[in-house]
Structure 1
Amino acid sequence: MQKRTQRQREIVARLRGGAALSVTGLAAELDVSDETIRRELRALEEQGAIIREHGGARLAASAFEGPLAQRMEQNADAKLRIARAAADFVSDGAILFIDSGTTSCFIARQLVERRGLTVITNSLQVASELGSINDNRLFLAAGQMDYGYLAFSDHDAQRYVAGFTPHLAILSVGAIHLEQGLMDFHPGEAAMSRIAYETSEKVLLGADSSKFGRHGLMRTAALEEVDILVTEAPLTADYAQAFAHAEVVVA
């Protein structure tokens, strides 16, 4: 049983990139038979972790995102590099909206030396990083808290955030797709992103390379709506062309 549990964890880990993988490919990577992989996929499907497709499987949308503390550990080095580069776009006295994504939380940590910021956020993590220091003003959206995100993104929180017009929105994203654009996995967070794109003078998107080519659950904005893209790896030719309108920083 322990071997089966470990094998299932390895299958899920390989699916976290967002792409569907074939039974044959998984069998080769894990050095087991195709039938063994099919058996494990059936078990994972019953648990709701994956969705089986013809000849393979992909991770269920709900399995892409975990609790905040867990997600903060994923690609942490890349997110830190992105955060340090993104902080250069924030001056003392700026009016910011910062969402509750993990990359945005990393960026908030890099702003603790800035003074006189006005910070609008739906994230308790961001609020704890930037509230009550350096003469900052903090406006925290409230409503029903999502404990997985340590954030507020229900209709009350959305209405509150929609009343502001920040100089810069600092946003994260669940997935970036050439055809579908910017995508997310959480309905409330997706709605928050849409509001930020509509109300902010500029949008800075922090996205590590694992987000590119990934498919999310719902669309939040077109790629053309990003003004500044900060990532940690060079873009492929297709994505470089898609973001040619934006200022692209590779940290």
Structure 2
Amino acid sequence: MLKRSARQREIVAMLRGGMTLSVAGLARELGVSDETIRRELRVLEDQGIVEREHGGAHLAAPTLEGPLSQRMEENADAKLRIARAAAEFVADGDILFIDSGTTSCYIARQLVERHSLTVITNSLQVATDLGGINDNRLFLAAGEMDYEYRAFSDTSAQHYVAGFTPHLAILSVGAISTDRGLMDFHPGEATMSRIAYATSQKILLGADSSKFGRYALMHTAELRDVDILVTERELDDAFARAFAHAEVVIA
């Protein structure tokens, strides 16, 4: 039987076609009771992911990200500005964890002139950009590759990354909320982020303005866990207060 997080992701995947599906139909497909489905739908509704109606539910809004190539093109100008500002926090010889988010990929591309970096990553794109140059050392988490993300985030990859203690983790995020904290769309990527928050000395979060006030499927960390926030637009009052503890850079 699926664990709750996996079951919720399966429900969201089944609703992606845009149709309203019945509780009974979802229960039948997932091999659980109607009451189990109702409970999962209540959780997803509280997260702003689905809208329930009599006897069923449909997606409230798009809740899953597209493939990496598509997401790299979204808000590209903002991500490039963020990447250039974020790169200023990286010095030659640093030990970095860089996740597989698109903003992190942009930041990695701005580090090609740095030397003697130690880079831990689960991203094939980051490994391609920073491996084999400038006396860098590269540690690539491996396991089963997610081809849409071009990344490794299964249990094997998670165990591998958990063994490192980076100076700085460079992370992306799917959504940021003042009341629900930091969130992501992919369970494996969310777990990878949690590991980075737990093992890194300092956290740099790169997030364009579209991520603020948004909701996603999985909670990853609290806003207070971020040490450096790099974004391209001034924060509104609520988010400015929420990140008052952090160094906030407007690119």
The normalised TM-score by structure 2 is: 0.79
Letter matched to residue 123 of structure 2:
S
Indicate yes or no: 2:19 matched with 1:45: yes
Q: Does the CA contact (< 8 Å) of 1:51 and 1:60 recur in 2?
A: no
User: Which residue matches 1:109?
Assistant: 109
Letter matched to residue 210 of structure 1:
S
CA deviation map 1:151-202 (0-9, x unaligned) = 0000000000000000000000000011110000100000000000000000
Query: Which consecutive segments of 4 or more residues in structure 1 shift more than 6 A?
Result: none
User: Which residue matches 2:136?
Assistant: 136
User: Which residue matches 1:58?
Assistant: 60
CA deviation map 1:125-168 (0-9, x unaligned) = 00000000000000000000000000000000000000000000
Structure 1 residues 235 and 154, CA, compared in 2 at 3 Å: closer, same or farther?
same
Measured in 1, the distance between the counterparts of 2:230 and 2:203 equals 11
What secondary structure sits across from 1:220 in the alignment? strand
Q: Does the CA contact (< 8 Å) of 1:84 and 1:107 recur in 2?
A: yes
Tell me, which stretches of 5 or more residues in structure 2 are unaligned? 1-16, 22-48
What secondary structure sits across from 1:86 in the alignment? helix
User: Which residue matches 1:192?
Assistant: 192
Q: CA deviation at 1:46?
A: 5.5
Q: Does the CA contact (< 8 Å) of 1:45 and 1:52 recur in 2?
A: no
User: Which residue matches 2:6?
Assistant: none
Q: Does the CA contact (< 8 Å) of 2:18 and 2:59 recur in 1?
A: no
Give the CA RMSD over aligned residues: 2.0
Correspondence list, 1:161-200, <5 A: 161-200=161-200
What secondary structure sits across from 1:176 in the alignment? strand
Measured in 2, the distance between the counterparts of 1:197 and 1:57 equals 30
User: Which residue matches 1:154?
Assistant: 154
Measured in 2, the distance between the counterparts of 1:192 and 1:119 equals 15
CA deviation map 1:7-32 (0-9, x unaligned) = xxxxxxxxxxxxxxxxxxxxxxxxxx
The normalised TM-score by structure 1 is: 0.79
Q: CA deviation at 1:44?
A: 2.7
Aligned length in residues: 206
Tell me, which stretches of 5 or more residues in structure 1 are unaligned? 1-42
Measured in 2, the distance between the counterparts of 1:44 and 1:127 equals 36
What secondary structure sits across from 2:108 in the alignment? helix
Structure 1 residues 179 and 155, CA, compared in 2 at 3 Å: closer, same or farther?
same
Letter matched to residue 89 of structure 2:
F
Letter matched to residue 142 of structure 2:
A
Report % sequence identity. Answer: 73
Q: CA deviation at 1:51?
A: 4.5
Measured in 1, the distance between the counterparts of 2:173 and 2:50 equals 22
Q: CA deviation at 1:61?
A: 2.1
Measured in 1, the distance between the counterparts of 2:82 and 2:50 equals 32
